[in-house]
Amino acid sequence: MSASMAQVAAATSETDEPQTLDAFLASVSARAFRFAELGLRHREDALDAVQDAMVKMLGYAQRPPTEWTPLFWSVLRSRIIDLQRRRTFRLKWLAPPPADDEGPIDWADPGPDPSRSHDSREAYTRLARALQGLPARQREAFTLRVLEELDVQTTARVMGCSDGSVKTHLSRARDALSKQLEDFR
Give tens-digit pLDDT for 1-44.
344 444 444 444 444 566 799 999 999 999 999 989 888 888 89
Are the C-beta atoms of residues 39 and 53 closer than 8 Å to each other? no
Query: 113-185 has which fold?
Result: Arc Repressor Mutant, subunit A (1.10.10)
Q: What is the pTM of this model?
A: 0.56
Separation CA 109–CA 94 (nearest Å): 40
> Distance (Å, rounded) from C-alpha 3 to C-alpha 13?
18
Q: Where are the alpha helices (DSSP H) in the chain?
A: 3-10, 21-40, 43-57, 65-88, 114-132, 136-142, 152-159, 163-180
47-105 pLDDT, tens digit each: 999 999 999 999 999 999 999 999 999 999 999 988 888 776 654 545 555 555 555 54
Helix (H, G, I), strand (E, B) or coil at 12: strand
